[in-house]
Amino acid sequence: MAPAAISWYCFTQEEKNDLEHSWSLVEAKKNHIACDIYEMIFNQCPEARRLFPKLKFVGSKPDRKNNEFAFQAMRFMQVIEGAVKALDHLTSLDVILDNLGRRHGKLEVNGKFRSYYWSVFLECSIYCLRHAFSKRMNDKEVDHVIILWRYLLRDVMKKIKAGTTADIAHRLHQMSIDDSRKYSLPAIQHKESNASSAGTDFDDIL
């Protein structure tokens, strides 16, 4: 049975306007915010560094001047920006986020990615966005919009994680099929036939 589709939070038009307005206040600083998010991720979850072997670190902090660091940070920010730009048609992001999640499936199967990283990404994003908003909005306004941002980014992460889960399930299924073929009777008979033709006792190669 296919998993139930994950629904997006239903924002009112006023809430969409508030999200778009808050983004407009910090959009010019999005590169800096992206780097802040990634630096915080690495501080909170140092083991995530192994996902990016090309990144350079100065002590415990990533080298912000490193092109690879800036590139990875901006790729993540593009996902955030894409969500706020698609508030009127969020379902159009489903395929994109699913594919993004599926690209992480291999990393998780290989032990390089952990599912709790998505929670770390979410919390670090919310923290850095709150910090950026606080420079342009009062506390009450920040408290209001950050709730909306949490709804939005929570669903983004859910969509990506669903893609990861689907890819892992597919990979495990393929592995089970490969194992079944490997140990099927025809395969064993073929192996035995080859051993006999080579003049080798079959029992000696098990």
Summarize pLDDT for 91-101 with one digit per residue, the tens.
999 999 988 88
Does 65 fall in a domain? yes
What pLDDT, on the 0 to 100 scale, is given for residue 206? 30
Which pTM value belongs to this model?
A: 0.76
Does 183 fall in a domain? no
CATH assignment at residue 150: 1.10.490.10
Does 201 fall in a domain? no
Both tokens assigned to 41: 């991720």
Count how many domains the chain has.
1
Domain that holds residue 132: 13-170
Does 187 fall in a domain? no
The number of angstroms, rounded, from the C-alpha of 47 to the middle of its chain's C-alpha atoms is: 15
Does 188 fall in a domain? no
Does 5 fall in a domain? no
Does 7 fall in a domain? no
Summarize pLDDT for 41-90 with one digit per residue, the tens.
988 888 887 777 777 777 667 777 777 788 888 998 999 999 999 999 99
Q: Phi first, then psi: give them for residue 57, nearest 5 degrees.
A: -120, 140
Residue 42 and residue 61: Cα distance in Å, rounded? 8
Percent of the chain scored above 70 by pLDDT? 75
